[in-house]
Structures are given as structure tokens and as C-alpha cells.
Chain A
Amino acid sequence: MATPHLEEEELRESLKRCPERAVEAALEFRTSRDPQLVPIIVMGIIERFVEPDVRPILKKEQDRTRLLEDLGIDSLLMVEIVILVEETLDIHIENEELRSLRTLGDIKAYLDAKIKGLPVPSNKNLVSFEELAAVMPHQPPFLFLQEARINGTSAEGSYRISGNEPFLEGHFKGNPVFPASLMLESLGQLAVLLMLKSGDPVFGGSIDPDSIFFVSCDGVRCHKLCKPQDDLQLKISLKKVHAPLAQFEGTIMSKGIKVAKAEEISLTFQVGDQPNA
């Protein structure tokens, strides 16, 4: 009979390559279940699994540090980390929940809620890059969304400017600035994704991805330059549908500062006969 609860020596054995402070915190956590110990334990477990060359990135403990892109933690290594976290904290992490943990911040917030018995931040509506690339008519190198979240008739998305975008070589010479026209494009793309994934009856059926085109926009203002390594946080919400037109409002933020706003983006579309996937 499997008994997931670990004896002390088994816990020490499981954590043998973790930093000593994490092992001590884990042993203390067994009796106190003090949520403040969780970040020390979890960061120690992650440190044990990442390559030595990325440990300095990890030590900065920035919430936005991404597990895959910044720390090289692939899905299999992530499962190893999760197993050790589960053993150590005596909790169970659902696959569905696991899928939504993409940054150190996600992990901390998730585990904090879990230990305190609060509802965990849900990412049920998360659309990963793989999923969005599969449904979008836009494709790299002209896809300016990395992940998105659909909530009925509004959506949030993000795009990190990598600095490797080919157009940055000429925009501008020696001074890479993300073009304002592409900021508008990224909002338009998020609106397209919303139309394809929302499933809201307001659109009158499932929309043919090849039928969506730009019509007009109004009230566009840019407030801040964005450069490589900046994260664009995109938001779009449906204002109204007047088939074949749909009108949206969109904003872009970066590091908590407003970057751009579009008061009205109009797209044209047609309802196809394929069932909504």
C-alpha cells in the first residue's frame, strides 16, 4: 500500500541535493506548516534541479522569471520538481494546476494559496503559445502573442519583446524600439484569438479564422516606448457586435505603466459552418 507521507530520513534522502536551508525549512514545516517556510523550500528544490549556469538568475528571485525560457526547466524536469514539492509539503498538485505554473511568481502564489487553504489562482482559461499558434491564422514571425487568457468577451495576453525580432534591426538603426503599428497589431491579434476561442453566443456561431480582417481603429495613443526584454501586457474587451463587424477596446501595459490604448478596433468576420473546437 502506497503511503505518500515521508519519514524524516526519507525526506532528508529525497532532499539530499537541495541547499541545507531548504532541508531545515522542510523539516520545520512538517510540524509547523508555516507558510513563510514554503518559498525557502521551493526555491531550494528548484535550485537543486536547474543547471549551475542559471542559478544566478534563480537567486534574484524575481517573480517574472520564467521556468522554461529563463531557467531551462522543461516539462519532465518540472514533474520532478513537482513530485519533490508534493513529497516535502505533503500536498497534491493537479495536472491542470501544474500546466498554469509558468513563472516563479505563479509557483509562489499557487503554493501560498494551497498551504493556506485558499482558492488557488485558476488558469483554466489559459491559452498556451502552442494552443494559440494552432488556432491563429497569424504565425511566427508575425504572431505577437505568447500566451493569453480568455474570459467570456474579454481577453488578456502577453508578449515579451525578445530583441531577436528581425524588424528591430531597422526600427531603428542602432536603437531597437517596438513599432507602435505592431502594438496595435498585437491587440488586433488578441481580438482575433478572443473571437476564435470565446464561444460566446454574441458572435452568432463559430467564426471562420480565414474570414477575420481589420477594418478600422480610432482613438489610438501611445504613451511609452517599448524595447527588447519588455513585457507587453495586452487587454482587449468586446464593445459590441454588429455582424459582420465586431468592435473592441484595447490597452497595453508594461511593468505597471500604460503603454498604449486603442479606443475602438473594428474587425470584420464571418460565421463558418465548422463546429467550434
Chain B
Amino acid sequence: MRNVVVTGVGLVTCLGRDKEAVSERLRNQEHGFVRYQPFVGNPEIPVSVAAPIPEFETSSADPEDWTFPSEIRFRLEQLRGLCPNALYSHFALRQAVHDAGLALEEISNTRTGLYTASSGSAAMTYHHLHRMKRFGPMRCSPLGIVASTAGTLNFNLAAAYKILGSTSGFVSACASSGHALGFAHDEIAFNRQDRMLVVGAEDFTEETIIPFASMRVLSTNEDPDSASRPFDKNRDGFVGTGGAVTLVLEDEEIARARGAHIYARFRGWGQSTDGYHVAASHPDGHGLARALEQALSSTGWEPGSVDYVNAHATSTPAGDISECRALKSIFGSVDSPAISSTKSLTGHALSLSSIMEASFCLLAMDDEFMPGSAHIKELEPEANGLNILRETLSHAPNRLLSNSSGFGGVNVVLAFEKP
């Protein structure tokens, strides 16, 4: 098996796009939440807080109404095939390729692939199907499908970057981009590709976030400074966000030969399924525990050698307890690694969250810190015995794990180490 390293990061998040600035905000625990006016102003929406993406306004279903940074200019037929998360992804991918120091021909070759994770676009699906019902099928935009379905990132980005290697998309709810990273790792490790672009993205729109309200999993707390508080005893649900993140993975030898900056070695990963419930995690975290075991066995690490775990913890009452139990079953008998949930600063980005949190881990490793879990006033009793970081530590983890879980009981754990 070949070693896989991360050489490029591209971010479009509620904490910003500039990686130094995002890193500083993580270190200083500065969150991205606001009282979001479209929610606050609608009495039917029981939710007030959200984490919008600075510089991007994409609430309209008409792409020509959107505002976004001017550094990418889209042709009209290209723009009309995008949904909000594909738009963000264009920026994240461009930034990651630039960050990795790659020329376009180093992307467009048979040894470079593209794996993506996006749930598609609820807003665009609704818009185009509404037109179909209102005006008839022959009056629908020919790009409606490209803009709406879960393959939207593959369609748009593979064409724009003339990808010639393996391209695929992953749909496993909030673990989607973790699966994309894991299988991209394997493409390189098993010598099928030399380089993989991995993109995770999610719309920041009412249509994507608010359907979770009726499941009673969104926080109804009106205070941006406390709505998202994973591991706090009084947490009441997650806060929605969106955006896009791209990571560039490469074979380590190839990356070193071209003198690339290496953020981390992507050492291995694990995955599992709870076999329990359509939406809820197994109450004792059995599935996640097995994914953690598998990640450890893929790396050969002892549990006691892990310095940091970026938890999935979304700030829902049941989910965080389940994760605490999974973590205790693995780390209960050793010195607990530092554990935090960066969702305390960003909220939950659904399909994007796994790769976004992986990117935060890489920034932390690169910039020598471990981000604390913000907004904990009273620790969830189930977390006793775990080292839940409340303040940022100013040294880098050598070995870290990043957890993600999604509907259907899927779990992914990614393992990174200092190069």
C-alpha cells in the first residue's frame, strides 16, 4: 500500500475562505453564527440561528441573482447548471488546486480522479419541479437535472476541470464526504490513481436546513453564542450551515518529489453501519465504536497513542450521548485523547461536515494547535471520563481521528498523522 498525503486545502465555510483566517478563528474559538434574518423573520420557522457563508448570497433559485466573489467568472450556460453547493465547490476546488501548487494539466490526466459528496440541491429540485408542474415538462430548464441531483458536483466539476481519472459521488448523509475521502485514499493507496481531488459541499439554503426542524433536531435557541454547544448538558439540537471544502490527496512519493507542502499523512480509515435505525444513532454507539476500531486497525495505532479526536457531536441530545459511549468504549481504559467538536463553532454542514472537519484538523496540525469545544457551560454527564477540550491547546496533535456519522447509522472515522 502506498502512503497518501494531503497537499492542498480549499475552503468555503462559515468561518471564511482564507485558510490562515479560518485557522485563527478555530484557535480563538470564534464561531460563525448569526441570528439569520430569513429564519427570524418567518414566524413559521422555529429556528433563529444559522451559520451563513460570508461573501456568498445564494438564497434565490435563479443563479443569476446570486452574489459571489468575482475571481471566477462563469459563462451563462455554466452558471445555469449550478446549484449553491456546486458554486461554492468551484471556489473551494480552485483554491485547493492553487494551494497544492498544481497546474491544470496535473489535474487533467488519467492518474487524477475526483470524488465528491453532496446531497444535491433541495432548493433547485423544488424550483425546477415546480416549473414542470406549473408550465409543463417541455418548459423546464435543460440544466435542471445537472443543477439539482446528487451528482451535481461530479457533472459540473469533472467537466470544468476536464477530469480524466476516476470520478464518483458518495451519498451517506452526514458521513458522505468522509466516505469520499476514505475511498479516495484507497484509490491512491492501491495504486489506481496518483492524485485525488475530494470535494464535499452542501447548500446553505432554507430548503436544505429547515426540513430538519420537523424532526426536532435543530436548535431553537435564539442566542448565536450558545445555540451550538456539543457536549453541553443543555444542548437542544444542531445549527445549520453549508459551504464547500476540497482536499487534494496525493501519493506521498509523488508529492515529495515535486516539493509539495504536506499538511498530513492520511494514514487510514474505518467505516461501519449501526444496523439500528433510519435516523438515530445506536444509543450505545456500537457502530461508531466499530468504525473507530477499524480506523485504529488500519493504522496500527494503539488507542493510547491518539492525541486528538474531532468528534462528530452535532449538539443533539441523543447523538452526543451515543458518541460519548462509543469514545469511552475505545478510550475508556487509556488516557483519553483530547476531544472536541468544531461544530460548536460552525454548526452542522451535513454532507460537507466530514471533510470540513478533516480540513480543520489539518489546519490545526499544520498551525500547531488543537481547537477547543466552545460553548460548554455544564458538561454532559455522559462525557465524564473523556478529555473534552474546552480551551484550545497550543500544540499540534501527532495522531488524530475525525468522526462522522449519518442517517441510516453509517459511521466513518478518518486517521491523520504528522508527516
Interface residues of A (CB under 8 A from B): 2-4, 6, 17, 49-51, 74, 76-77, 79-80, 83, 86-87, 92
Contacts and interface: CB of A to CB of B under 8 A. Distances in A.
B300 interface: no
A20 B142 CA distance: 25
Secondary structure class of chain B's binding surface, majority of residues? helix
Contacts of A76: 77, 81, 142-143
Interface stretch (B130-138, B185-193, B352-360): B130-138
18 contacts: A2-B134, A2-B139, A3-B134, A3-B135, A4-B135, A49-B76, A51-B75, A76-B77, A76-B142, A76-B143, A77-B77, A79-B142, A80-B141, A80-B142, A83-B139, A83-B140, A86-B138, A87-B139
B64, B76, B140 pick with most chain A CB within 10 angstroms: B76
Interface of B: 64, 75-77, 80-81, 132-143
Nearest to A83: B139
Given A4-B135, A17-B64, A83 B141 contact: yes
B76 A86 contact: no
Contacts of A3: 134-135
Q: Which residue, A2, A3, A86, has most C-beta atoms of chain B within 10 A?
A: A2
Contacts of B137: 2
B139 A77 contact: no
A79 B137 CA distance: 13
B135 A74 contact: no
A77 B134 contact: no
Contact of B80 (A51, A80, A92): A80
Chain A CB within 10 A, most for which of B64, B77, B134, B141: B77
B48 to A, nearest CB: 30
A185 B65 CA distance: 52
Contacts of B142: 76, 79-80
A89 to B, nearest CB: 13
A80 B80 CA distance: 10
Contact of A51 (B64, B76, B135, B138): B76
A4 B80 contact: no
A259 B348 CA distance: 71
The 8 closest A-B pairs by CB, nearest first: A2-B136, A79-B142, A77-B77, A76-B142, A83-B139, A4-B135, A4-B136, A76-B77
A74 B77 contact: yes
Contacts of A77: 76-77
Nearest to B64: A17
B283 to A, nearest CB: 48
B364 to A, nearest CB: 43
Given A76-B143, A80-B141, A80-B142, A2 B77 contact: no
A49 B141 CA distance: 13
A17 B76 CA distance: 12
Contact of B139 (A4, A49, A51, A74): A4
Nearest to B73: A51
A87 B137 CA distance: 13
A51 B78 CA distance: 12
Contacts of A17: 64
B77 to A, nearest CB: 5
Contacts of B141: 79-80, 83
A29 B139 CA distance: 20
A3 B135 CA distance: 5
B399 to A, nearest CB: 49
Contacts of A51: 75-76
A3 B133 CA distance: 9
Nearest to B77: A77
A80 B136 CA distance: 14
Contacts of A4: 135-136, 139
Given A76-B142, A80-B142, A2 B76 contact: no
Given A51-B76, A76-B77, A76-B142, A87 B135 contact: yes
A183 B132 CA distance: 50
B80 A2 contact: no
A92 B135 CA distance: 12
B67 to A, nearest CB: 15
B156 to A, nearest CB: 13
Contacts of B139: 2, 4, 83, 86-87
B403 to A, nearest CB: 41
A34 B76 CA distance: 31
Given A2-B132, A49-B76, A83-B141, 12 more contacts: A2-B133, A2-B135, A4-B136, A6-B135, A17-B64, A50-B76, A76-B77, A80-B143, A83-B138, A83-B139, A86-B138, A92-B138
A169 to B, nearest CB: 29
Contacts of A6: 135
Contacts of B133: 2
Contacts of A83: 138-141
Contacts of B77: 74, 76-77, 80
A96 to B, nearest CB: 14
Nearest to A84: B139
A51 B73 CA distance: 11
Contacts of B135: 2-4, 6, 87
Pick from A49, A80, A92 the residue with the most CB of B within 10 Å. Answer: A80
Contacts of B134: 2-3
A92 B80 CA distance: 23
A41 to B, nearest CB: 17
Nearest to A78: B142
Nearest to A86: B139
B34 to A, nearest CB: 29
B140 to A, nearest CB: 8
Nearest to B76: A49
**Residue with the greatest number of chain A CB neighbours at <10 A, chosen from B81, B132, B135, B140:** B135
Nearest to A17: B64
Nearest to B137: A2
A61 B76 CA distance: 21
A4 B140 CA distance: 11
Contacts of A50: 76
B197 to A, nearest CB: 25
Contacts of B132: 2
A70 to B, nearest CB: 16
A87 to B, nearest CB: 6
Contacts of B81: 76
A200 B137 CA distance: 39
